[in-house]
Amino acid sequence: MTTIRLEFEKVMKELSEIEKTLATINISSPQLSHLGNNQLDFTKAWLEREMKIEQLLTEYIQAVQKNVEDTKANIRLLKDQDEANVRN
Protein backbone atom coordinates (compact mmCIF):
# COMPACT_ATOMS: atom_id res chain seq x y z
CA MET A 1 0.00 0.00 0.00
CA THR A 2 1.31 3.42 -0.95
CA THR A 3 1.50 6.07 1.74
CA ILE A 4 0.89 9.69 0.92
CA ARG A 5 2.42 11.99 3.45
CA LEU A 6 1.28 15.55 4.05
CA GLU A 7 4.15 17.83 4.99
CA PHE A 8 1.88 20.48 6.47
CA GLU A 9 4.50 22.97 7.65
CA LYS A 10 6.40 22.84 4.38
CA VAL A 11 3.25 23.38 2.31
CA MET A 12 2.06 26.26 4.49
CA LYS A 13 5.51 27.89 4.28
CA GLU A 14 5.44 27.71 0.48
CA LEU A 15 1.94 29.19 0.40
CA SER A 16 3.10 32.03 2.65
CA GLU A 17 6.00 32.68 0.29
CA ILE A 18 3.54 32.92 -2.60
CA GLU A 19 1.49 35.46 -0.64
CA LYS A 20 4.60 37.53 0.11
CA THR A 21 5.60 37.47 -3.55
CA LEU A 22 2.13 38.53 -4.64
CA ALA A 23 2.31 41.49 -2.28
CA THR A 24 5.45 42.72 -4.02
CA ILE A 25 3.92 42.74 -7.50
CA ASN A 26 3.10 46.27 -8.47
CA ILE A 27 2.35 47.96 -11.73
CA SER A 28 1.66 51.65 -11.71
CA SER A 29 -0.91 53.33 -13.87
CA PRO A 30 0.39 55.38 -16.75
CA GLN A 31 0.89 58.99 -15.78
CA LEU A 32 -1.35 61.14 -17.94
CA SER A 33 0.61 64.22 -16.89
CA HIS A 34 3.65 62.88 -18.75
CA LEU A 35 1.74 63.02 -22.02
CA GLY A 36 1.07 66.74 -21.91
CA ASN A 37 -1.11 67.78 -24.83
CA ASN A 38 -0.23 64.74 -26.88
CA GLN A 39 -3.48 63.68 -28.56
CA LEU A 40 -2.22 61.08 -31.04
CA ASP A 41 -4.30 57.98 -31.79
CA PHE A 42 -1.28 55.94 -30.74
CA THR A 43 -1.27 57.64 -27.35
CA LYS A 44 -4.92 56.80 -26.78
CA ALA A 45 -4.35 53.17 -27.80
CA TRP A 46 -1.26 52.97 -25.58
CA LEU A 47 -3.17 54.29 -22.56
CA GLU A 48 -6.02 51.83 -23.14
CA ARG A 49 -3.56 48.95 -23.43
CA GLU A 50 -1.71 49.98 -20.27
CA MET A 51 -4.96 50.22 -18.32
CA LYS A 52 -6.02 46.80 -19.62
CA ILE A 53 -2.68 45.30 -18.56
CA GLU A 54 -3.08 46.81 -15.09
CA GLN A 55 -6.61 45.40 -14.84
CA LEU A 56 -5.51 41.93 -15.99
CA LEU A 57 -2.64 41.88 -13.50
CA THR A 58 -4.96 42.92 -10.69
CA GLU A 59 -7.44 40.17 -11.63
CA TYR A 60 -4.60 37.63 -11.84
CA ILE A 61 -3.30 38.56 -8.39
CA GLN A 62 -6.80 38.27 -6.93
CA ALA A 63 -7.27 34.84 -8.54
CA VAL A 64 -3.94 33.57 -7.19
CA GLN A 65 -4.74 34.94 -3.72
CA LYS A 66 -8.09 33.12 -3.79
CA ASN A 67 -6.36 29.91 -4.88
CA VAL A 68 -3.83 30.23 -2.05
CA GLU A 69 -6.60 30.80 0.51
CA ASP A 70 -8.54 27.80 -0.81
CA THR A 71 -5.42 25.64 -0.79
CA LYS A 72 -4.62 26.63 2.80
CA ALA A 73 -8.16 25.74 3.87
CA ASN A 74 -7.93 22.37 2.09
CA ILE A 75 -4.53 21.59 3.60
CA ARG A 76 -5.84 22.41 7.10
CA LEU A 77 -8.83 20.14 6.48
CA LEU A 78 -6.56 17.31 5.35
CA LYS A 79 -4.40 17.75 8.44
CA ASP A 80 -7.46 17.70 10.70
CA GLN A 81 -8.78 14.58 8.99
CA ASP A 82 -5.42 12.84 9.31
CA GLU A 83 -5.26 13.70 13.00
CA ALA A 84 -8.81 12.45 13.52
CA ASN A 85 -7.96 9.17 11.77
CA VAL A 86 -4.90 8.69 13.96
CA ARG A 87 -6.98 9.18 17.12
CA ASN A 88 -9.58 6.64 16.00
Q: For position 34, what pLDDT does the model report?
A: 66
Which residue type sits at 48?
E
Q: Give the Cα separation of 52 and 30 in Å (integer).
A: 11
Mean pLDDT for the stretch of residues 71-76: 96
- Each residue's pLDDT tens digit, 5-56: 889 999 999 999 999 999 999 888 777 666 677 677 887 888 889 889 999 9
36: phi then psi, degrees, rounded to nearest 5: 65, -130
Q: How far is the CA of 67 from the CAs of 30, 38, 40, 74, 87, in angstroms? A: 29, 42, 41, 10, 30
Q: What are phi and psi of 82, to 5 degrees?
A: -60, -45
Cα–Cα nearest to 21, from 70, 53, 68, 54: 68
How high is the pLDDT of residue 7? Answer: 92
